[in-house]
Amino acid sequence: MGLWEDTAFLSRVLTLLTLSFHILYATVGVGVPLLIMIAHWMGIKKNDDHYILLARRWARGFVITVAVGVVTGTAIGLQLSLLWPNFMQLAGNVIALPLFMEVFAFFFEAIFLGIYLYTWDRFADQRKHLLLLIPVAVGAALSSVFITIVNSFMNAPQGFEVLNGELVNISPLLAMFSPAVPTKVAHVMTTAFMTSAFVLASIAALRMLQGSKHEYHKKALFLTMKIGLVFAIATALVGDLAGKYLAEYQPEKLAAAEWHFETSSEAELILFGVLDGEEPKYAIHIPYALSILAGGLPSSEVIGLNEFPEDERPPLWIHYLFDTMVMIGMWLAFFSLVFVVGAYRKWKFIQAKWMSWLVLASGPLALIAIEAGWWFTEVGRQPWILRGYMTVSEGATGSDQVGLMLILFTGLYVILGIGTVVVLTRMYRRNPVEKELALREEQKEAEVE
């Protein structure tokens, strides 16, 4: 059977493609409302037009990303049933509740986003308008919480029993609060805020590299880097907890990520390297680090991959994904710390051109880390779609037209990706901040007269 006839494989590729595309927009969609809110609030508090304009211009760009996020989110929502009907039939009995609640959160966000966008300057009191943004930010955050709960269930299913192939004793609430939930939800939220902050910092850096000397960009840069720093540190802390969660509940994922074959205490952490059979080559070995990551002490025992039957092991290449995610995360935390401290102490090199280049890189880097992290978590639970209960190939559709759909959706995402970039650059290029600020000044003078 060629891969082109293998519907389970094709369904995996199509799901991977849709989700990988969607999470770029979804991450920004969860994080940016908070940043808009902070900028808007600072503008009102400091009575500084620059921050108000920052909120306004971010909001304009945000709508474009939300639109693509909404349509790709609708796609993945329906694809779950189209590509994985057997899985949805089984899991629907247990995990429908958070899925349903996600739609309400999404509803809530959609309603207030529409209102926020179309009531700028409509209320005499600016604070009223700011209030409208709270349900947007809360709705966006809550929908990410609920959907992550669904994903956590797939990693650590609970809240039901299997009796003669039938699901019995179902408890929707128990299924919702699986052990994977706390670390997963916290990690998704903190990385979303972190990534959004760095993406917006990148934009400010880009404008400065293009030669704009305006105060506005410096304010934007400093604000976003500060927020980025806070959430980068939070991400690192939560990441450590996530490692401990894996060691306890999904040891095969952690073992595959770290090429840890034999169960042992005082386990070393392997950085980089390539695998030759069971021997990592060219790798950096950090003694005890894996034990500390897994259990908090150098003496903690870490379960090795050899404890698992061969057909239940995740692929070993997830090590590279894990490394990518962790390295980028560490770098961003370190870099933003240097930047923020440097900016406070007015160190010269903060203004240097190479520094702007580094800031410019941080947004895309954070997005790459998001992709790597999700691929790691998803590929890391292979071969299961519902860990311990259903494999991926058992969950896939029996339809033989998945290949054709894969081609169609690839085309769609190419169009949407190009469209986003073209529209966003056009939008900001035609209306640079200098022009908009000048216009506002004129309006104000006209009002005074």
In the bound complex, what is the minimum distance in angstroms from residue 290's beta carbon to other proteins?
40
How many angstroms separate the CA atoms of 373 and 148, rounded?
14
User: Binding other proteins by CB under 8 A: which of 67, 236, 368, 437?
Assistant: 67
Site for other proteins in 107-136 (CB under 8 A): 107-108, 110-122, 135
Min CB(140)–other proteins separation in Å: 12
The strand pairing partners of 269, in sequence order, are 286
State the helix-helix crossing angle for 402-430 and 7-46, rounded to 10 degrees.
20
Residues 6 or more apart from 50 whose CB is under 8 A from it? Answer: 43, 215, 216, 219, 437
Q: Tell me if 443 contacts other proteins by CB under 8 A.
A: no
Amino acid identity, position 15: T
Name the β-bridge partners of 264: 302
Output 168 or 213, the one with its CB closest to other proteins.
Answer: 168
Count of Cβ atoms closer than 10 Å to residue 150 Cβ = 19
Burial status of residue 445 (CB atoms within 10 A of its CB: 0-12, 13-18, 19 or more) = exposed
CB of 10 to other proteins, least distance (A): 11
Residues 34-63 that bind other proteins (CB under 8 A): 56, 59-60, 63
Residue 408 sits in the site that holds other proteins (CB under 8 A): yes
144 sits near other proteins (criterion: CB under 8 A): no
3-state helix, strand, coil in the chain (%, to 5): 75, 5, 20
For other proteins, how many residues bind (rule: CB under 8 A)? 79
**Residue 391 near other proteins by CB under 8 A:** no
Please state the closest distance from residue 7 (CB atom) to other proteins, in A.
Answer: 10
Stretch that binds other proteins, among 208-216, 274-282, 347-355, 407-415 (CB under 8 A): 407-415
Nearest Cα to 23, choosing from 327, 367, 408? 367
Side chain identity at 79, as an amino acid letter?
Answer: Q
Residue closer to other proteins (CB basis): 320 or 413? 413
Q: Phi-psi bin for 165: left (phi > 0), alpha (psi -120 to 50), beta?
A: left
Q: And the tokens for 220?
A: 């934007």
End-to-end CA distance of the chain: 79
Residue 170 or 438 with smaller CB distance to other proteins? 170
Q: Which lies closer to other proteins via its Cβ, residue 67 or residue 233?
A: 67
Q: Supply the minimum distance, in Å, between the C-beta of residue 236 and other proteins.
A: 34
For position 167 contacting other proteins by CB under 8 A, the verdict is: yes
Provide the token pair at 15.
């799901």
Q: Which of 5, 127, 128, 171 binds other proteins (CB under 8 A)?
A: 171
Among positions 235-274, residues that touch other proteins (CB under 8 A) are none
- The neighbour count for residue 213, using CB atoms within 10 Å, is 8
The CB-of-113 to other proteins minimum distance in angstroms stands at 7
Site residues for other proteins, 69-108, by CB under 8 A, read 70-75, 77-86, 88-94, 96-97, 99-104, 106-108
Measured from the CB atom, the residue of 229 and 433 that comes closer to other proteins is 433
Amino acid found at 92: G
* 2, 398, 447, 448: residue in contact with other proteins (rule CB under 8 A): 398
How many whole angstroms from its chain centre is CA 219? 25
* Least distance from other proteins to the Cβ atom of residue 414, Å: 12
286 phi-psi bin (left φ>0, alpha ψ -120 to 50, beta other): beta
Token pair 């995996």 is found at: 12
Taking the least distance from each CB to other proteins, the nearer of 56 and 244 is 56
Among 424, 432, 436, 437, binds other proteins (CB under 8 A): 424
Measuring CA to CA, which residue among 244, 260, 250 is closest to residue 379?
Answer: 250
Shortest distance (Å) from residue 138 CB to other proteins: 11
Q: Which lies closer to other proteins via its Cβ, residue 220 or residue 247? A: 220
Tell the smallest beta-carbon distance from residue 412 to other proteins (Å): 5
Give the nearer residue to other proteins in terms of CB position, either 64 or 379: 64
CA angle 207, 211, 215 (to 5 degrees): 65
The answer to whether 439 contacts other proteins (rule: CB under 8 A) is no
